[in-house]
Amino acid sequence: MPLVALDLDGTLVDQASAARRWSNDFVQAWGLPAGEVDTVAEALTARRPKGEVFGALVERLGVPAAADEIWLDHRSKMPSFVAVSDDDRRALIDLKEAGWTIGIVTNGMADNQEGKIRPTGLDALVDGWVVSDTVGVRKPHPAIFESLATRLGCTLEGWMIGDSLELDVAGGAAVGLRTAWIGDGSDPAGFRPDLVVDSVAAAASHIIDVGAHA
Ligand SMILES: [Mg+2]
């Protein structure tokens, strides 16, 4: 079966609004100025290892707690803050019915990422997933995509859908997948995704229309 590989954060789950909600709670809990919600939310969506993010935040905001404690709090609460849209949920069911193997390939810590995959019900809608922390290699490294294919018992033939040009589009293209970029309205410039869409549902509808071998 051909593969549709999907990114998690910012693709299947609305990471930005979940990060904002956690940031709001964090700022209130530590009595920080309300204006710091933006600082925290932006830091959380930065593409760098989360250990560094929390270390820098604790230092910058003068929070009297260990960065690891804050990180743990973030990992434990975020799962309940993220959601999958009904349209994207339906799209995964449609892809499955059309014969595609569906997998999630995500950078992050296993507890954090699986803590979003299971409570949102994505675990029942996909055939499996790989988390970078578990396999020891992060997107865009080809080995993480190969690991997903091995886990799902399929080849790297098909599509990669994601919101990052560097991680998802370049990473997916490098292993031979066609790519659908969940765009932000900017110019994908040199990355040349095969498809620019605004949601997983839109990408899935195109993929189903063109079929596996178009
Ligand atoms: Mg993403």
Spell out the per-residue pLDDT of the chain, length 214, in tens. Answer: 699 999 999 999 987 888 999 999 999 999 999 999 999 999 988 878 888 999 999 999 999 999 999 999 998 888 889 999 999 999 999 999 999 999 999 999 998 899 899 999 999 999 999 999 999 999 999 999 999 999 999 999 999 999 999 999 999 999 999 999 999 899 998 999 999 999 999 999 999 998 765 4
The predicted model scores a pTM of 0.82
User: What does DSSP assign to residue 190?
Assistant: G
CA of 31 relative to ligand 1 center, distance in Å: 30
- Type and span of the H or E element at 159: strand 158-162
Residue 133 makes CB contacts below 8 A (sequence gap 6+) with 108, 109, 110, 113
CA of 50 relative to ligand 1 center, distance in Å: 14
Contact 102, 4 (CB under 8 A): yes
CA of 89 relative to ligand 1 center, distance in Å: 17
Break the chain into its structural domains and give their ranges.
3-14+83-210, 15-81
In the CATH scheme, what is the code of domain 3-14+83-210? Answer: 3.40.50.1000
CA of 9 relative to ligand 1 center, distance in Å: 4
Contact 27, 40 (CB under 8 A): yes
CA of 166 relative to ligand 1 center, distance in Å: 10
CA of 18 relative to ligand 1 center, distance in Å: 13
Residues whose Cβ atom is located within 5 A of ion ligand 1: 7, 9-10, 163-164
